[in-house]
A and B are shown apart, each in its own frame.
Chain A
């Protein structure tokens, strides 16, 4: 399992990835790295390119430009390891029974773990002889997850995995997923726009916005380099003495100001400082598209340090 600042092997490396559809660029110049064994949240507003990025990683789409490597090899090649992809709409053959869906996994994946897949289905009381078309959204997701986990992937890509689940199923399936990660050291990359879903689950974050990477790195590291400052308003805007710290977002209400900054030196002054929560950090970046992007050293690919702002670890 990964360590706080552990760099180690790369599960994913994106070098200047770009994707253009007829309506224009959806991803542009995306470069970041995800170390192996991490559980990473992929966050961004709708249309930020999350699904496109995951599809490229799953070898469903070919990027227009740039390069992606999965465990050091091209996606889809033998050396890239096993990758499971759970697409957003959880596509399954509707006329297959649940047992037949698992049989599909068995027939198409060498090293398939039938018992593990059956356990996930059984834990949700989903009947094996039911047709997929007759299942509820939660049951469908469970079967799709069983199919994704039955091959014990090295890299698990999940696109909005829990969006159609009730809280109980959500907790159960997240548990099953994290247990798999704990047991097999699986690297997980999951997109979501429910930020609360990420708390306690992710130890790595990638924020996409406007087709580019805004924020990438270890959660603890990202939180530690940001400071939430709350104080009494002085004049029209923020206190002048705060101005030399890179600012992510500031809000002023009545006599009070709140600012998320990325201080180079300790930001001491007549105000209170606190470290932000993951949700506060993400919201601040999502709300301010003009804030400078931040890719921490463990999330940088080689040669990237020259053109991206770095922080001292």
Chain B
């Protein structure tokens, strides 16, 4: 079993609670394939020592990840990754990514600034996903495991 020690980067000034930062960063690592099933997450003590984050906060984040079926606690050993979020269609060599790159370059040719692009993407994402946060979780859970 490969044990990868990872380090969370907790930004105290971001306004995002540390609990959410840990959840988001773990998910991001799962999406990018940095964390794979069987990896052990840092213990609450490790996170506390390196990032000065309340151990209860870390444990709460892990419980949230566990609730989503992404990690599992093994008594006496720590918290381990159960499944990955990396999907072939979400990697940078997928056709979807190529289409997005092409669209972004067209947007740039049309004179859009970076902020305009971000706003457009966010708006489109909101239209598609807003009502479905809960659904998305349920879906991933049913496909997982």
Contacts and interface: CB of A to CB of B under 8 A. Distances in A.
Q: Do chains A and B touch in the complex (CB under 8 A)?
A: yes
B114 to A, nearest CB: 27
Interface in A176-225: 176, 178-179, 181-183, 196, 199-203
A270 interface: no
B57 A203 contact: yes
Of A39, A175, A178, A179, most buried by chain B (CB within 10 Å of CB) is: A178
A175 B44 CA distance: 11
Contacts of A116: none
A87 interface: no
SS class, residues of chain B in contact with chain A:
helix
A171 interface: yes
B54 A201 contact: yes
B37 interface: no
Contacts of A196: 12
Size bracket of the B interface: 20 to 34
A161 B59 CA distance: 25
Contact of B55 (A4, A171, A176, A178): A178
B60 A178 contact: no
Interface of A: 1-2, 4, 37-39, 171, 174-176, 178-179, 181-183, 196, 199-203, 277
B45 interface: yes
A181 B55 contact: yes
B11 to A, nearest CB: 10
A202 B15 contact: no
A201 B15 contact: no
B60 A4 contact: yes
Question: Nearest 4 pairs between A and B by C-beta?
Answer: A182-B55, A178-B48, A179-B49, A182-B45
A178 B58 CA distance: 11
